[in-house]
Structure 1
Amino acid sequence: MDKTVSMMDAKPSLWTKLAYGFGSVAYGIKDGGFQYFLLIFYAQVIGLNAQLVGLAILIALVADAISDPIVGYWSDNFRSRWGRRHPFMYAAAIPVAVSYYFLWNPPESWSNAQLFWYVLLLSILIRTFITIYETPSTALAPEMTQDYDERSSVIGFRWFFGWLGGNTMAIAMFILIFPAFVTAAISNGQFNRDAYATYGFIASLIIFGAIMVSALGTHHLIPKLRQPPAKRKITSGLMFREIFETLSSRSFAALFFASLLGFIASGLAGSLNFYFATYFWGFSPEQIGLISLCVTISTFIGLFLAPYITRTIGKKRGAIVIGLIAFTGAPTPILLRLLDILPGNESQFVFWFVLVATTIDVGLIICYQILSASMIADLVEQAELKTGRRSEGIFFAATTFIRKCGIGIGIILASFVLGVVGLESGAGQGEVSQGAIVGLGTVYVPLILALWLTMISVISRYKLDRAGHEENLRQLRAGALSD
């Protein structure tokens, strides 16, 4: 029997899970920056037209569509003394950090056209470099364990640290960085470009550190991981033919489109999150920081709830149940305000209601995302039975692409929502009309609900359950014994 079979039957140690999971801090910070701060920074602080920011993100997505599957396939077939995955992880560390730093330090006095090209180029570079790291790194999960339940635990650590990393930087922004950049001319540090320059410097250092910690912390697994297939001549035609063959299953299609819709909704919600907090609710930076701090509790809810749901009702049913609760509850505070059920923003009840609702809801959303990612990992063995190839990289390249593409489309949607409701670039807190504020909620609530409920409908078409996964493992073991 292949030595990797017995290795993947064992449970990874806690320290290995922590190292593997901690690597997602890099993606979490990048993701949080793109979702929460990129649009408001360039549109409201720098003054670049919000639609141009959205267009830059859209074009960068086209580059993603090309780079993601290539990196995934390349890492599945890469041969080196450091295995298939780790060379990519080490190589990406410095480029990711450097390009992320420059995104938050645009040149001053540039025209809209120049700033557009600046955002576009750096968006493409960051997304490409993060793919070179994130795809091979996350693809380690199916190699670390084949156990149906344990995979939710391993992937849970990945999502836990991803959310924790992005959220911790948001907390630092609102509690530490923004207040430090309040001046006589700028009463809210959220609108001071120097605050974002400081963020870019700190975030880029943490991104570099997270990548290196994860790569070094999982380096000891290299001798035990799957070896690449026999050396062969790979053409572009062969590559795309094998990618299509690997991903051509009904269950993957269901997860692909469900996840795409989910991340579009997340990108939309994330991009407008601080618009709602700042303009719709009128919260101070310190209040927004406290909400972000409580979202840390949400990461623990998701981390511990996902494995429990997996053991009790299974991944697909759990994703549907948890998803319905989370996604219908997310826009509830905004809907209640539109219906004049909540009191005015001067009431402290409003702040605490939004804080508690957000904490619970984000915890459920994280749980859903862990279950969905674990369902993707279970498709690796199903594809191996069909193709005879081990293709974790391709599956997680698809996951990385879905995540980036969905978030990107969500940011684009958010930029158009801002244009439709007439929220002007450069407007500070208190400078937006009541009509634009009400319009923001009126457009957002039905749009986000439509995306999330459609996603739940699509994911119900996923077919692989615990019994099917265990049967796939049985057949693979039988084949390994007969070889």
Structure 2
Amino acid sequence: MSQSVKVPIGQKAAFGAGHLINNLIPGILGVFVVILKSADGFGMDTVLAGLIVGIPRLFDAITDPVMGYVSDNTSSSYGRRRPYIFIGAILSGLIFAILWQVHGDNTEMYNFWYLLIFSILLIFGNTIFSTPLIALGYEMTSDYRERTRLMSFANTIGQVAWMLVPFLYVLIPDDSLFDTQPEGVRTVALIAGVVIIILGILPAIFCRGIDASKMEGREDITLKSVFGSMGKIFKGIKKVLNNKPFAKLCLATFLVFNGFQIVAEFGVFIINFYMFDGDWGASKWWIALFPAVTAAYTAFIAIPIINWMANKYGKRKAFIYATLISIVGYILKWWGFDPENYYMVFLPIPLMAFGMGCLFTLMMSMTADVCDLDEFENGMPRKEGTFGAIYWWMIKVGQGLALVFSGVILKLLGYDPTATTQTAEALTGMRITDIVLPVITALCAIWVMRNYSLNESRAKEIKEELVKRRGEL
């Protein structure tokens, strides 16, 4: 049951392709939700649009832990994870394409229920894909530092999605390409579905995890056993959450990621309505460039620096330093969104990028360390699937809640989805919230991680003891 130390570059690239899909799906969803709320798109009420992405996340509370349990206990000639990744990629691509085949001239409630039902189905398909994928990454290497390098590489590839997706704000409103924005949404969804399938199956084909053929303590997986083991599944969740280092990772991630997610679409509206007075034609390139340049900077500058920081100072300190840097970047957004000088929009990016750049690079690497700690304390079977399921359930449910709260906050601030301009009071409220909220949640995350205890020396001690227990050389 030995693990490799160095992960071959081809496997890193395939794993990164899976991460690209994990970013592509929510990235495109974010664009489509903005179009749902815009007067030129579907003009849907902001609260209804938020519910479409928020309610399905509640199903993750059940599907993610169950998928983690199933994946952990699966025995097949193709491994514990890869068959599900293959099937889940195909399902995710097909359902995503069908989900967005909606028309602007439908009634608001028809579109709401159609999108809600297929969004719930997408959750099931994506769970089958993403939960085993994340677990596979945790077990691709046993080396403390190689885990960070693997996650850095995968997140760099994953950032490509965020470099490309923002340009949908340019392409979909282009009347030389599409007669209407809803038509653009339908076409892009079909193309995205094909991309999701092609790239999503790559980790299933090329990546390798632990050889689990001799792993002890696993249960037989049947439909009856899964339903009969619900009690065990949630007892396992309780045991995992009692792992203090892991609980800290989940809470810190929840705070940073969802503080960012609640206000993620605010930047679109601030650029368009504050900097360009509601002229989508003039603002579209800046709306696209701001997140695209942020993603490029994150991938090629911030993540390599974070990787270096983790090796020099340790993962905990690297997280704290990077998050503090990002807070300064968030504050600079007040001066960055300047209607008199559009190029100032790039001012906060070099510092702000460290927030998202450090989050998944370091937290996923640290979660792999936690899986070793769990085996050390609780024995076999290893529970990468359960840890990955709970970690990403926290993210996805938080993201759903964030999108719901985003719509509610926009409405409370006075945003009108049917108007071509917004009031000065609404825009000022959006600008303040866009800065204050992620700063507060980032500071709370730093407080949570201030005494995180699973450092490199402790991780190496645990690994050495596990090697002895398994009888490995």
| Separation in structure 1 between the aligned mates of residue 187 and residue 176 of structure 2, nearest angstrom | 10
- The corresponding residue for 2:432 is 442
Determine if the alignment matches structure 1 residue 271 to structure 2 residue 265. yes
Contact (CA 8 Å) 2:139, 2:210: kept in 1 or not? no
Instruction: State the match for 1:285 in structure 2.
Output: 284
1:28 alignment partner AA: N
Counterpart among 375, 379, 388 of residue 388 in structure 1: 379
- Equivalences for 1:86-165 in 2 at 5 Å? 86-165=82-161
Give a deviation string over 1:29-88, Cα, whole Å, max 9, x none.
Answer: 112123343244345421221111222333212111111111011100012221100110
Q: Which residue of 1 aligns with 2:279?
A: none
Whether the 8 Å CA contact 2:333–2:347 is kept in 1: the answer is no
Structure 1 residues 370 and 385: CA distance shift in structure 2, 3 A: same
Per-residue deviation, 1:106: 1.4
- Change in Cα spacing, 1:272 to 1:182, as seen in structure 2 (3 Å) is farther
Paired with 2:209 and 2:352, the residues of 1 have a C-alpha distance of 38
For 1:231-265, what per-residue CA distance to the aligned partner results, in whole angstroms no more than 9, with x for missing partners?
A: 54652222222232233211111111111112211
> In the alignment, which residue of structure 1 is the partner of 2:346?
355
- 1:181 to 1:77, Cα distance in 2 relative to 1, 3 A: farther
- Are positions 1:33 and 2:28 aligned together? yes
Aligned twin of 2:245: 251
- Matched to 1:381, the amino acid is D
Whether 1:197 and 2:186 are equivalent positions in the alignment is yes
The 1-side partners of 2:438 and 2:217 are apart by 47
**Alignment partners' CA distance in 2, 1:466 and 1:226:** 29
| Structure 1 residue 459, shift from structure 2 partner | 2.2
* Among candidates 391, 408, 413, match of residue 399 of structure 1: 391
Give the TM-score, by structure 2 length.
0.90
Distance 2:343 2:75 in 1: 54
CA contact (8 A) 2:166 2:289 kept: no
- Are 2:225 and 1:236 aligned? no
8 Å CA contact 1:51, 1:416 repeated in 2 = yes
Partner Cα distance (1:359, 1:40) in 2: 28
Partner SS state of residue 14, structure 2: helix
Contact 1:31 1:166 in 2 (8 A): no
Alpha-carbon distance in structure 1 between the residues aligned to 2:331 and 2:100: 30
TM-score (normalised: structure 1): 0.88
Confirm or deny: 8 A CA contact 1:51 1:412 kept in the other structure. yes
Farther-moved stretch of structure 1 (464-473 vs 367-376): 367-376
Unaligned runs of 5+ in 1: none
Say if 2:309 is the partner of 1:309: yes
SS in 2 for 1:79: coil
Alpha carbons of structure 1 residues 182 and 89: separation in structure 2 relative to 1, 3 Å: closer
Residues 94 and 151 of structure 1, relative CA distance in 2, 3 Å threshold: same
User: Which secondary structure state, in structure 2, belongs to the residue aligned with residue 284 of structure 1?
Assistant: helix
Partners of 2:146 and 2:218 in 1: how far apart?
32
Letter in 1 for 2:139: E
Secondary structure in 1 matching 2:139: helix
- Output the amino acid matched with 2:404: I
Q: Which amino acid aligns with 1:419?
A: K
Corresponding position: 1:50 with 2:46: yes
Which letter does structure 1 place at the counterpart of 2:189? G
- Conserved in 1, the CA contact under 8 Å of 2:17 and 2:157? yes
Gaps of 5+ in 2: 277-281
Residue from 203, 206, 220 that aligns with 1:214? 203
Say whether the 8 Å CA contact 2:257–2:356 is kept in structure 1: no
Contact 2:136 2:209 (C-alpha < 8 Å) held by counterparts: no
Q: Give the deviation of 1:330 after TM superposition.
A: 1.7
User: Which amino acid counterpart does residue 342 of structure 2 have in structure 1?
Assistant: F
Percent of aligned pairs with the same amino acid: 24
Q: 1:153 to 1:460 in 2, by over 3 A?
A: same
Across the two proteins, how many residue pairs are aligned to each other? 458
Change in CA separation of 1:470 and 1:366 when aligned onto 2, cut-off 3 Å: same
**Alpha-carbon distance in structure 2 between the residues aligned to 1:226 and 1:462:** 34
Q: Does the aligned pair in 2 maintain the 1:423–1:432 contact within 8 Å?
A: yes
